[in-house]
Structure 1
């Protein structure tokens, strides 16, 4: 929770501290924060000023996704207007003890920099890869100083809580998940877009809201989240049942889930890995190739269990959220759509998986003008 982060940062007792707004919205299927940045940036910057006051920070930094570079000039103009109105800068609103300003720093297009320590590395001009912890950013973050990293939605929500009070906020949602959630809903539905809903809405209610019919699956939380089937559409969007950063991708029954979605998501994680951890660098490729082998008609029963067990290693052996969730497209579809995998395999008496050496060297032999001779 944001409040705990702020409290830990205050208790770090650094000579200065920083607030960073993570606007590196790189999760496929997520576009809600772009809407905030476009339609209500003043609310975001006001939330940052409130957080800066709570942290006794003098500087806030918006780490803006590289693909949102077209917004930079617009956001700079909004910031300057707020300075002119004494809402940012020195002596905010006549309080000489309240000095806080905001600057924008561009990202470089790396998904891994959505992870807060990798983001800080990038801000410092280093290669964007996660740091080992401890220390945590609230202890030693940007430039070695206590740093709080919050996302766009969190900092914008702070303003509503200050205006209406904590009791108002806690009265919305569920007992464990207070308030509202912005959802980026896309895919096979009639009315995609950004929706603000109360925590506790069911997936079925969400699908009805956006005009989705004949739904095979919903990808909750983007590729790093969970792919759920129809039997789970009664679950609620909440921390206790279906937590999500905001991405909701509706997948119709006419889609080939494994070829069109799972392979696509695995390609994404392979491309975006920082390659620091060996399982994230290599096992993602191995998992994808094994699934392709199955899709091409060469799968055995053992392949499903190997896919699942190897995917579990990813959660144990990688140090950041990207690596730990990179196998989720395969893991969650095996859990919720296992018949799709079982339909791909042949029984042991029908098929024995083997390696064809002649076929393996054929391409290289063609390139150099040789005839395969492996016997």
Structure 2
């Protein structure tokens, strides 16, 4: 070893000493063994942990995909799966999905499976089983979401829809009330099903909607709809914090009622079946009308998007609509004066 090489090595050692001193690390620290890593669980072992940790809505959305993951990989450890394995499972799920009339080449199934995988691995990272660099789900891209085929329903078609609902089925009063609730409030299905008697403000004609993302908002309704909601609750035994919408026998309405309702309407009105009309189309219909007649800011507030919307732009912070303006839009929509005007 030459003198020049020796000098260079000593300089490197001195630089290393200075770096360790700056970091507060001693040579003894480096000699100590690294902490033992927790054993990574299998999917069968870890899925119950995640199911217990997420909200009911998340569990419902991912249930089918978590079941498929457990079916395919139940005994595999979570660190034994690569990004290519997930991609292969995505293609398998797409090829074996249930084909529906509104199917879009399995893009929804692929997106939901990847989201379900990411949820699992994010919890595993938070629990210290893996690091973010070891997360294979983050390396698999979701398919680009296509524009929605839903849109506003024409006035004539909306009238046909309401007439058919109110004149058929085993509970036309319930079905007519459901359609009017969605049309006036532009609420989501989950918001309607979560509505309770204590969510009705009779004096101000407001209903409290609790929807996805654990959001809550007060939404104006017409005096007529408020009267119908209270009458429905009284006749069918809804009290206090119990679900308001109920069947004739007093049982709470479930999501299945919506399926049966629009299946029946599809048999009566072929365009409903052809376009796969659902309650969400009513949300599009009302919000489109509000935007055309009262502007974007009021439509945004009407939809419950006023706070934290990612696509509204900075200007939305300065032009946020007031509840009284939403009430004015509702009054114009229904042709009834509202107490908040």
What TM-score does the superposition give when structure 2 sets the normalisation length?
0.25
From the CA coordinates, give the structure whose radius of gyration is larger.
2
Q: Please state which structure has a larger fraction of its residues in strand.
A: 1
